[in-house]
Every structure is written in structure tokens, then in C-alpha cells.
Amino acid sequence: MGGQRPAFEMTNLNSTPNDIPSREQEEVYHVLNYREKLSNIYFPALDEIADTIFASNQAASLTVTTYMIAQGLAPSLWGPIADCMGRRQVLVYTLILFVGANVGLALARNIGVIMFFRFLQAAGSSSTISIGAGVIADIAPAKERGGFIGAFAGARQVSIAIGPVLGGIFAGTLGFPSIFWLLVILGGLVVILIIVLLPETLRAIAGNGSRPLQGLQYEPLYRKRAPWNKEGVAAMADPHGDKPVRERMTVRMFFEPMLFLFEKDVACTLFFGGVIYTVWSMVSASTTFVLLHAYHLSTLQIGACFLPNGIGCAIGSIIAGRQMDADFRLAEDSYKYARDLPRAHQLPKSSMPADFPLERARLAQLPTMTAVFAFAVVVYGWSLTPPGPLVVPLMAQFAIGYASTAVLNLNNTLTVDLYPGKSAAATAVNNLARCLLGAVGMAKGINMF
């Protein structure tokens, strides 16, 4: 893998990351993360939903599998559209779909209707997965990208910790429809945040961030931070600079990302990440049933038991991201030293030299994190046969969440680095492989209990 590049070239629209200051960069990924904060709030309500609509637990659990299938498929649609139309428009449209699906879920009283709206809910919310990676590729140079992706994924993983706890509280006190009305309110707030705070970052539309934009591509608050001249152009804009050509949307765009699957390096990365994600999904999906049968816990206690896994995911994302940045800087220094380049020499920000050891730099932590993950899974299984002290499986879940998220972030960052101009589409294919494998694993795991 070392030094090899993909056999086919993808058009790189991001020749340099957008000139967005650090403070605004932080605001960008915070806005993106608000959308995914409570994605797992639904889990503790499964029993109540089954009782309310007179469905079996297995049927209610299938709504989780349906969600994962849509979560895997939808980004493959949103990613290419976002790479062409821009990030803001797709985020706003899909968020409207998310809000509408939650209204349907709050009113639904039939398992088939619930499964339908859960599919739409996932289709609307999952755009953040691919578009978030695209935005990070737009605004962050390679040496900082690992930290951004780690922070982005870490914030999303917080939902694994707090979502089930809040879901148990709302479902137990106000009934399961209150969960979806809460998501309607939060979704409405997020669309306002996106319109007001999130700048368009796609270079083919926004240039270096200083181009005057209109319609859904125009973000008023961000534009007010830059000085404007009489012609309405930001003072920092270069009227004689390059004007990237906006890519036209074609049917081929939606199938082109699948070419990634025929790249040996990418296929291996996707399969390995998919296996890790599947095991983690099976552990998470079976937590309620395993702990309920083994320790006879209440619904609120079960929700609290998701905390170690979620906290491990969040910490693993952040630490792995920072370590990736450190590994990249070390590889960059070694590369310069071997070629007698001055340390102050700047390598290209978007496309690294063909002989740069990109894979080695990004995957330096992979052997260690994989070993930790495998060991934690073994300990988790042993601690439940027969059940021992509750603290043991919970500690194992923390380690599983930590190591699995670290591995997945390593793979995702490498994918974004290899295809910076098509980062949203590449991440969508990555997510497709994980979610489809994870959905199969969750379905099998649920049927065991």
C-alpha cells in the first residue's frame, strides 16, 4: 500500500482548502454535528412501541435494521449531489425530509408505517455523514484533517452515550411519540443554524470562501464578517484568480463512486472497516437484551448502561484524530529529511506527492487499535458466560467503543485523503459498506434474543 495511488484519477475541485479562519472552521463542524446528536434516542422505546402497536419485539427491532439500511444507501445519493450542487443546499433539503419523517413517526401507530418513516428519517439525517466529510476536506489541509474528522466523529458518537438515556426518560414519562416531537423541534433549530451559520465550502461554487453567493448558497452571518467593496465582492477576493468550473450533474456521477470498490486498497479498507463496524453494531444492538436477561435491569438502568460505549466512542474519535495529525507531521518531517527539503517547505495541501507514505502515516495506529478491539470483544463475551460483575462488561464496552471508533476514523481519513475532490462520494461508499454489513449483523444479533 505504501506510496501507491488509485489507478484512476478523480477530479480535484479543492486545489486548496477554503480560506476559513480556525474559529469559523470550528463553528462549521459544530453546526454539522448538531444534526446527529440524538440519533440513538429511539432505542429504549422499542419495548413501548411494540406494546403500544401490538407488535412483536422482533418486528419493532426491524425498524432499527431499516434505519441502518437507509443510513447506508442514502449518502451514496447525497454525496455526489453535494459534490455538484454544494453542501448547504443538500443539507437544508435533507433536513426538511428528516423533520417531516419525525412528524410521521410521532403520529404513526402501525409497524409498517413506522418502518417507512424510519427509512425516510435515516435518509434525511445521514447526509451529514458524507457531506460532513466533504466540508472537512474543503476547509482543512491534510495535516489538520485527522483532528477535524476525529472531532466530527467524536461529537456524533456522543449521541450513543446520551441518546438512550434521554430516550428512556421521554418514553417512560411522556410516551414514545414525545421522542419524535423533540426531534422535530431540534431539526427545525438545526435548519436555522445551517442557514445562518454554515458557509458554502465547495470550492467549485465558493472559490476560496470570498465569492459573493445568492440563494441557499448565501450565508448572511459569515459574509458579514468580511469587508465588502462597492461591487458587493469581499475585499479579500481576487477578481483575477482562478474560477473553478462547477461540475454538471449526470447519472454517471451516482455510479462513479462504486468504482472505488474495484480498487484493491479501497476494497480491503472498506471490508476491514465494515467487519469492525458490524461487530460493534451487534454489541450495541444486543446490549438491551443481554443486560436485561443477565442482570434484570430497569429501562432507565439499561439506558445508562449505554454510557460506557458512547463515552469510549467519543474519546476514541478525539484521541485518534489528534494522534493521526501527530503521525502525519512525523511522516511529513521524515519525508522532507529523506529528500533534503527544508523543514519549512510546504507540501501540496490537497494532493500529496505520489511517493509520500500516506497510508503508512494514516494507519500507524491500526495494529494497536485492532488488537485492543479484539481483546475487548473476547473479554466482553467471557464476562457474560456466566454473568459476572456488571462493571466488567461495561468496561469492555468502553474499550470496544474506543478502539472501533479509532479504527473507523483511520479508514475514513485515509479515504478522504485519497479522494479530496470526491470526498463526499467516497465517504458515502465507505458508509454504505459499513451500514449494510452492520444491518445484517444487527438483524442476526437481535434474533438471538
pLDDT at residue 10 above 70? Answer: no
**Residue 270 to residue 436: CA distance in whole angstroms:** 12
Mind listing the pLDDT tens digit for each residue in 432-441?
A: 888 888 888 7
pTM for the model: 0.72
Burial of 240 by CB count in 10 Å (0-12 exposed, 13-18 middle, 19+ buried)? exposed
Q: Measured between alpha carbons, how far is 402 from 313 in angstroms, rounded to an integer?
A: 5
Using 50, 70 and 90 to split pLDDT, how confident is the model at 449?
low
Q: What is the pLDDT of residue 239?
A: 44
Mean pLDDT of the chain: 75
Amino acid at 293: H
Residue labelled with grid coordinates 479508514? 411
- Which pLDDT does position 116 carry in this prediction? 95
Identify which has the larger pLDDT, 431 or 119.
119
Q: Per-residue pLDDT tens for 278-332?
A: 898 888 877 877 887 788 887 778 778 888 988 898 888 888 888 888 888 888 8
CB 407, CB 362: distance < 8 Å = no
Q: Which residues lie closer than 8 Å to 283 by C-beta, 6 or more apart?
A: 309, 377, 380, 397, 400
Which of the two residues, 206 and 411, has the higher pLDDT score? 411
State whether CATH 1.20.1250.20 applies to domain 22-235+257-336+354-446. Answer: yes
Per-residue pLDDT tens for 355-410?
787 788 888 889 999 999 999 999 999 998 888 899 999 999 999 999 999 998 88
Q: What percent of the chain has pLDDT over 90?
A: 15
Q: What is the pLDDT of residue 348?
A: 64
CA 372, 311, 287, 123: dihedral to nearest 10 degrees? Answer: -110
Cell of 20: 476559513
Q: Is the pLDDT of residue 235 over 60?
A: no
**pLDDT score recorded for residue 101:** 95
